[in-house]
């Protein structure tokens, strides 16, 4: 056997694509995990249909998993694929535009027959015409090879065919010189109760690897050296998991009970699933009868002294609106998480978007200010969930934390925080019974006291009817309403006083400032970095606190000739910025259910500065 030729690369983007039942998410995740463990930085983009088992072989049923791994701080799952694994014609058709010219294309030839070609709306077989001329095509009958490798396992053909994803993964592992053992361990754990299936999957994985070794299918293989991440202990984490852990951390640090009330909704349900596992932290999870009961139960729990939390996605947030108004009026702590998805209405439940910003900031009856935060990356979800909880309790206010499908389901290496460095979460449930009024305020934060039922001598009544300042009694007094309205705004505004300074990456003055918020962080940061390398006078400011806007942002904006705001909506932050700073900020909108790729923003930067 010839010596394996290994070429070293800085980064690689791999796309697995197949039917939604082909297990592409599973093997994509495994490549991500192994890459993280061997020390690469990773960025992932799962892209799957909303239907659990969409019709086989169709374009609508294609499930893809894009992953980038590299030897430096990556921030994104890659603009364009170096390697594409297509398990059928539909997967090829949908994903081919994402493969770079001369990219490696591995196809399972078994499915390139009449029926599947027709389902994919191919008039002729792309393996036989000119469609794939500009790629390095590796036609491999993965289905047959897997059947051959697994024929002794005793599984039926259906069972065997379910393992072909691991055969494909084995090939990719060979191509990129990844070790098999982490995945083998995971398979053993995952199928602990189905030994036969575990064995078969391991056999398929090894089979794919061995096939490449024996046939010398690929002339060269590649390797990506570990990234130089900040020293520390790491694990790979997905956004929703990180978010749930942030909530557990807040509960644990606050030494309080957490009550999570929610209703299943894509893509937020994993937060409920994760929290439900951690009952030993005293977390009570309540699967409510609907979204409204979800938030109402969380508010009730908060009134009774627990940390009340609810998570949802756009349509669910709409249903919770009235109750959030009550939490604002009664000044109770509450954490509301919105994992945004493409809207309006049902929209595209498994696709990403940032279009709930207006809903979060403005979407209630009456003047109803609420702090709004947004997580930038999967691991940032941990910190922001913790911070949202801390702010909610300190200021006795509901807080909306926005993430999105891209951040929630993406994975990246996470430097595990030292729990001693987490900010304390403070509250005081006591008051002097002779001098107690429910709406007496802390002079610094304007927060009222969190007095909870069961406390002797302090019983009080609150509700959604306007309350007299200080006493909390029902009041229809005109001046009091003005006072209370002003106080509600003032209290939320003061939260900005404790934000960390807004970081400007790049020069403090220049032609262009690009402002991003939430999940567009990675693509924007990288685009600005590359544009700067090309000599453009451009800087980047990212917002994790969206309402109220940071106190220092106005001053920063003044130092630039132009402001550009890339957003996955029709231009929402741009309105907030124009409104507050009266600046002619330029909107760069994308509403395709897909995140920005770096190249798009980079091109926009050049266009705006060039003008």
CA distance 253 to 426: 9
Choose between 91 and 295: whose C-beta lies nearer to other proteins: 295
Residue from 103, 305, 316, 566 binding other proteins (CB under 8 A): 305
Pairing of strands 560-567, 545-547: unpaired
Window of 225-233, 390-398, 441-449, 523-531 that interacts with other proteins by CB under 8 A: 225-233
Binding span for other proteins by CB under 8 A among 250-258, 339-347, 498-506, 585-593:
250-258
Which one among 125, 266, 445, 455 touches other proteins, defined by CB under 8 A?
A: 455
Examine residue 181 and tell whether it contacts other proteins (CB under 8 A): no
- 364 Cβ contact list (under 8 Å, min separation 6): 321, 322, 324, 325, 328, 370
User: Interface with other proteins includes 39 (CB under 8 A)?
Assistant: yes
Residue 457, interface with other proteins (CB under 8 A)?
A: yes
Min separation Cβ 462 and other proteins, Å: 6
CB of 138 to other proteins, least distance (A): 30
Q: Where are the alpha helices (DSSP H) in 310-409?
A: 314-330, 357-362, 380-395, 405-409
The stretch among 51-59, 89-97, 107-115, 280-288 that binds other proteins (CB under 8 A) is: 280-288
The angle at the Cα of 281, spanning 279 to 283, to the nearest 5 degrees, equals: 55
CB of 482 to other proteins, least distance (A): 22
Given a contact cutoff of 8 angstroms between Cβ atoms, the answer to whether 503 and 541 are in contact is yes
- Judged by CB, which is closer to other proteins: 230, or 501? 230
**From 461, 479, 501, 611, residue interacting with other proteins (rule: CB under 8 A):** 461
Nearest approach in angstroms of CB 503 to other proteins is 23
Rg (CA), the chain: 26
| Rounded Cα distance, 257 and 244, in Å | 15
Q: Per rule CB under 8 A, is residue 490 in the interface with other proteins? A: no
How would you classify the pairing of strands 41-47 and 62-70?
Answer: antiparallel
Residue from 72, 138, 182, 358 binding other proteins (CB under 8 A):
182
Tokens 């015409």 — which residue? 129
Closest CA to 333 of 437, 431, 429, 412: 429
CB of 227 to other proteins, least distance (A): 8
Window 389 to 428, contacts with other proteins (CB under 8 A): 415-417, 419
Indicate the residue among 105 and 411 with the shorter CB distance to other proteins: 411
**For residue 305, how many C-alpha atoms fall within 13 Å in the half-sphere facing its CB?**
10
Token pair for 368: 């109803």
* Helix ranges, 264-373 (H): 269-276, 291-303, 314-330, 357-362
Stretch that binds other proteins, among 23-31, 53-61, 279-287, 587-595 (CB under 8 A): 279-287
| Bridge partner list, 378 | none
Which residues lie closer than 8 Å to 327 by C-beta, 6 or more apart? 295, 299, 302, 334, 397, 398
CB of 31 to other proteins, least distance (A): 14
Rounded to whole angstroms, the Cα distance separating 311 from 486 reads 29
Place of tokens 């900005």: 496
* 341-379 burial: b if 16+ Cβ within 10 Å, else e: bbbeeebebbbbbbbbbebbbebbeeebbbbbbbbbbbb
Which of 48, 69, 112, 259 touches other proteins (CB under 8 A)? Answer: 259
Q: Using CB under 8 A, which of 124, 144, 459, 559 touches other proteins?
A: 459
Nearer to other proteins, 336 or 586 (CB): 336
Binding test (CB under 8 A) with other proteins, winner from 280, 345, 421, 435: 280
Residue with Cβ nearer other proteins (35 or 340): 35
Are 549 and 580 in contact by the 8 Å Cβ rule? The answer is yes
- Residue 334's beta-bridge partner residues? 398
Q: Which of 344, 366, 464, 555 binds other proteins (CB under 8 A)?
A: 464
70: nearest Cα among 526, 546, 457: 526
Smallest gap from residue 328 Cβ to other proteins (A) = 12
* Burial class of residue 493 in the structure, from the number of CB atoms within 10 Å of its CB (0-12 exposed, 13-18 middle, 19+ buried): middle
460 forms part of the interface with other proteins (CB under 8 A) = yes
Q: Is residue 465 at the binding interface for other proteins, with CB under 8 A as the rule?
A: yes
Q: Which of 105, 187, 245, 388 binds other proteins (CB under 8 A)?
A: 245
Residue from 211, 234, 386, 547 in contact with other proteins (CB under 8 A):
234
Q: How far apart are CA 59 and CA 121, in angstroms?
A: 8
Please identify which residue in 33, 58, 442, 485 interacts with other proteins, judged by CB under 8 A: 33
Quick one: which segment of 30-38, 168-176, 531-539, 569-577 binds other proteins (CB under 8 A)? Answer: 30-38
Which one of 322, 367, 508, 607 is in contact with other proteins (CB under 8 A)?
Answer: 322
Taking the C-alpha atoms of residue 227 and residue 207, their distance in angstroms, rounded to an integer, is 29
Give me the residues that bind other proteins (CB under 8 A), please: 33, 36-37, 39, 182, 226, 229-236, 245, 248-249, 252-253, 257, 259, 261, 278-282, 284, 286, 288-290, 292-294, 296-301, 303-306, 308, 322-323, 326, 330, 415-417, 419, 452-465, 473-474
């Amino acid at each position: 056997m010839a010596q394996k030729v290994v070429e070293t690369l800085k980064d690689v983007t791999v796309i697995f694509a197949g039917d939604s039942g082909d297990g592409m998410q599973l093997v994509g995740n495994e490549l991500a995990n192994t890459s993280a463990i061997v020390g690469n930085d990773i960025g992932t983009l799962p892209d799957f249909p909303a239907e659990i088992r969409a019709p086989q072989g169709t374009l609508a049923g294609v499930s893809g998993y894009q992953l980038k791994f590299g030897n430096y701080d990556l921030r994104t799952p890659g603009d364009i694929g170096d390697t594409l694994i297509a398990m059928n014609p539909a997967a090829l058709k949908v994903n081919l535009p994402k493969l770079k010219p001369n990219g490696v294309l591995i196809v399972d030839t078994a499915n390139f027959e009449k029926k599947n070609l027709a389902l994919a709306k191919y008039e002729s077989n792309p393996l036989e015409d000119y469609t794939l001329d500009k790629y390095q095509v590796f036609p491999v009958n993965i289905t047959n090879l897997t059947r051959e490798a697994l024929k002794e396992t005793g599984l039926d053909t259906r069972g065997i065919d379910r393992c072909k994803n691991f055969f494909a993964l084995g090939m990719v592992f060979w191509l990129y010189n990844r070790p098999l053992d982490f995945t083998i361990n995971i398979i053993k754990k995952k199928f602990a109760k189905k030994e036969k299936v575990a064995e078969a999957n391991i056999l398929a994985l090894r089979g794919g690897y061995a096939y490449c070794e024996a046939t010398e299918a690929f002339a060269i293989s590649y390797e990506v050296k570990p990234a130089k991440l900040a020293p520390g202990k790491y694990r790979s984490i997905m956004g929703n998991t990180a978010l749930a852990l942030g909530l557990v951390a807040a509960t644990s640090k606050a030494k309080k009970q957490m009550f999570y009330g929610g209703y299943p909704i894509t893509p937020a349900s994993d937060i409920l699933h994760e929290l439900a596992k951690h009952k030993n932290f005293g977390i009570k999870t309540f699967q409510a009868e609907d979204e409204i009961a979800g938030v109402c139960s969380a508010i009730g729990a908060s009134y009774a002294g627990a940390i009340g939390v609810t998570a949802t996605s756009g349509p669910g947030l709409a249903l919770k609106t009235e109750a959030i108004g009550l939490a604002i009026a009664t000044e109770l702590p509450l954490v509301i998480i919105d994992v945004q998805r493409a809207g309006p209405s049902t929209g595209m439940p498994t696709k990403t978007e940032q279009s709930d910003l207006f809903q979060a900031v403005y979407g209630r009856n009456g003047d109803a200010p609420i702090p709004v935060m947004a997580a930038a990356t999967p691991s940032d979800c941990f910190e922001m969930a913790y911070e949202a909880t801390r702010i909610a309790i300190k200021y006795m206010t509901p807080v909306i934390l926005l993430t999105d499908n891209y951040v929630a389901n993406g994975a990246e290496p996470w430097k595990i925080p030292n729990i001693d460095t987490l900010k304390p979460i403070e509250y005081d449930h006591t008051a002097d019974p002779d001098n107690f009024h429910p709406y007496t305020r802390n002079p610094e934060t304007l927060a009222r006291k969190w007095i909870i039922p069961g406390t002797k001598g302090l019983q009080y009544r609150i509700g959604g009817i306007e309350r007299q300042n200080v006493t909390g009694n029902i009041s229809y007094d005109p001046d009091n309403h003005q006072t209370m309205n002003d106080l509600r705004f003032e209290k939320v505004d003061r939260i900005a006083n404790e934000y960390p300074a807004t970081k400007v990456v790049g020069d403090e003055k220049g032609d262009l400032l690009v402002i991003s918020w939430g999940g567009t962080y990675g693509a924007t940061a990288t685009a600005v970095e590359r544009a700067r390398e090309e000599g453009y006078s451009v800087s980047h400011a990212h917002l994790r606190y969206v309402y109220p806007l940071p106190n220092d942002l106005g001053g920063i904006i003044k130092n630039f000739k132009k402001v550009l705001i890339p957003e996955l909506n029709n231009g929402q932050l741009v309105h907030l910025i124009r409104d507050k700073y009266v600046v002619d900020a330029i909107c760069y909108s994308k509403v395709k259910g897909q995140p920005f790729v770096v190249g798009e923003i980079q091109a926009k930067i050049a266009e705006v500065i060039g003008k």
